[in-house]
Amino acid sequence: MAEHSSIHFDISERKILLRFLDIASVLSLLYFMDAFFDFDYFKINLENWQWTAVLAVYLSVFGSVFELYDLQKASKFESIVQNIIITCFVIVLLYLLTPFFTPTLPVNRLQIVYFYLSINAALFIWRYAYITLISATRFFKRVILIGNASDIDEMVMTLQKSDPNYKVVGFINTSSVAYISKKFKDLIEVEVASIESTVTQHSISEIVVAAPAAGKITASLYNKLILLLEKGTPIRSYTDVYESITHRIPIQHVDKDFYLHFPFSRSNQNKLYLFCRRILDVLFSILGLTLGFLLFPIILVGNFWANRGPLFYSHIRVGINGKEFRIYKLRSMVRNAEKDGPQYADALDTRVTKFGRFLRKSRLDEIPQFINVIKGDMSVIGPRPERPFFVKEYSNDLPFYEVRHLIRPGITGWAQVNARYGSSEQDSLEKLQYDLFYMKHRSLALDINILIKTLSTVIFYRGQ
C-alpha cells in the first residue's frame, strides 16, 4: 500500500502557500545574489523597503493574471513553464518603468538580465519542489463518500476534476442498488461496521455525506458518524464540499431546500457597495469606449474586408427583474445568421466569420456593451444576459434560473471566466451554478478576481 500522510492542504491553503513561497523564494534568491555575487541592482534592506514591497505586489498580481495560482495548472510542471516566463518578463518590465518605487537603472545593463533570470530560477525551483512534494499523492485529501450508487461516479468525477489534490478513496452505498462502475474501479466499498478501521487504515481526512433524505442513512451509520466526529474526523455535506471546491452552487442536489443553502450576499443590498460599483462601471465604460475609439479604424477595415456588412448589430436581452433591453455588439457572424430562428452558438460555429472569430477571442466584440452599462441596463460584472427565447426555455428546464435576474447582468462575470462555451442545456446549467455562486458570495474581492480572470482570458485569447 502506498504511503499516506495525515497532513493535507485545502484549496485556500495551497493558494496562500503558493503566493507566500513564490515571494519568499524570489526574495531569498535575490538576497543570495546580492550577498555572494557582484549583483548590486536589487538590495533587500530597511532603507529601500519599498523595492521589496513593489516586487512582491507585482509578483502576486501578475502571477494571478498569468494563472500561476490556478491549482490545475500548478500541479503540472509543463503547464506553468510558459506562464512563469511571461510573468517574470512583465514583472521586470514594469519594475523598470516605475523608478520612483524601484532601483534606478544600473550602469551595467547585464544586471537587469541577472535580475530577470534570478526571478525565473527562483520560481522554477520552488514550483518544481511544490509539484514533487506538496502536490504529491502523499498529501492528497483523502475522503469517504456516503451516497446513492447511481450518483457516486458523477460526484467523484466532479470533485476530483475540480481539485487535483482531492482523492475519493471509498464510499458507503445508501441505496439498495449495487454500485457498478467502469470509471473508478479502485474505489473501496466500505461497510458500515468497518468504517472506523477504514478511516484509520487509509488516513481519511474527512467524510462527505451526499444522501439528501434522512431515511437513507440508517441508525447504525448515524451512530458510527457521531463516534467518528467525536474522535475528530470532519464530516461535511456534499453540497458544502461541492461549493467550496468548484465555486458553484450544486442546484441539482439542493432540491426544495434551496434557500437553506443559498443565502443572498449582503452586498446585494449594501448601498455603499452598489454606489461604488456604479462609479466603477461608469469609469470602466469610459475606458472601454476610449479603447474602442482608438481601435475603431482597425476594426472598420477588418469588418470591410472580412465581414462585408454592417459593423454593429443589436437584439433584445433580459435584464434585471426580467426587464428586456436592447444590447449592442460588434457583428461577428454572417448576415441573417438566424434566419431560421434562435440557435445555440458553439465554439466552432460555422456562422462566425474569420474576423468575427478574432473579435470574439479578443472580446473586442463586446466593447459596444459599455453603452448599455452607462445607460444602466448592464453592469461590468454580473450574469450574462440571455435572449427571451432561451430564458423561457431555461426557466422551464433549469431550477432557480429566474434567480439570476435579481441583479444587473454583466459584460463579464464568474460564469464567463470559469465555464465552457454555452452550447447546450448542460453548459447552461453549469453557467447557472457559477452565476448563483457569484450572487451568494458577491463582494469587492470576488469582483477583482473576476476582472483579473477576464484579463487572463483576453491575454490568452480565450474569448467565446
> Do 341 and 453 reside in the same domain of the chain?
yes
Is the pLDDT reported for residue 1 higher than 50?
no
For residue range 402-458, what is the model confidence (pLDDT) as tens digits?
889 999 999 999 999 998 766 667 788 889 999 999 998 999 999 999 999 998 888
Q: Judge whether 332 and 356 are in contact, CB under 8 Å.
A: yes
For residue range 24-59, what is the model confidence (pLDDT) as tens digits?
999 999 999 988 888 888 888 888 899 999 999 999
Where in the sequence is the domain holding 83, given as residue range(s)?
Answer: 11-134
Q: Residue 2 has what pLDDT?
A: 46
Q: Residue 338 has what pLDDT?
A: 66
Residue 393 lies in a domain: yes
Compute the half-sphere exposure of residue 385: CA atoms within 13 Å on the CB side of its CA: 32
Among candidate residues 198, 215, 246, the one where a domain is terminated:
246
> Do 308 and 360 reside in the same domain of the chain?
yes
Residue 254 lies in a domain: no
Q: Is pTM beyond 0.85 here?
A: no
> Do 172 and 212 reside in the same domain of the chain?
yes
User: The domain spanning residue 232 has which CATH number?
Assistant: 3.40.50.11060
> Do 110 and 237 reside in the same domain of the chain?
no
- For 100-111, letters b (16+ CB in 10 Å) and e give eebbeeeeeeeb
- Count of beta carbons in the 10 Å neighbourhood of residue 442: 22
Residue 326 lies in a domain: yes
Which amino acid, 60? S
Residue 411 lies in a domain: yes
- Which residues does 264 contact at the CB level (< 8 Å), separation at least 6? 406, 439, 440
> Do 120 and 59 reside in the same domain of the chain?
yes
> Do 237 and 345 reside in the same domain of the chain?
no
> Do 241 and 375 reside in the same domain of the chain?
no
> Do 446 and 310 reside in the same domain of the chain?
yes
Residue 406 lies in a domain: yes
In the numeric block, the cell 462502475 is attached to 181
Residue 3 lies in a domain: no
How many structural domains are present in the chain?
A: 3
Is the pLDDT reported for residue 375 higher than 60?
yes
Percent of the chain with pLDDT over 90: 42
> Do 418 and 316 reside in the same domain of the chain?
yes
Residue 260 lies in a domain: no
Among candidate residues 93, 116, 134, the one where a domain is terminated:
134
> Do 72 and 203 reside in the same domain of the chain?
no
> Do 37 and 118 reside in the same domain of the chain?
yes
> Do 445 and 298 reside in the same domain of the chain?
yes
Taking the C-alpha atoms of residue 243 and residue 9, their distance in angstroms, rounded to an integer, is 17
Residue 302 lies in a domain: yes
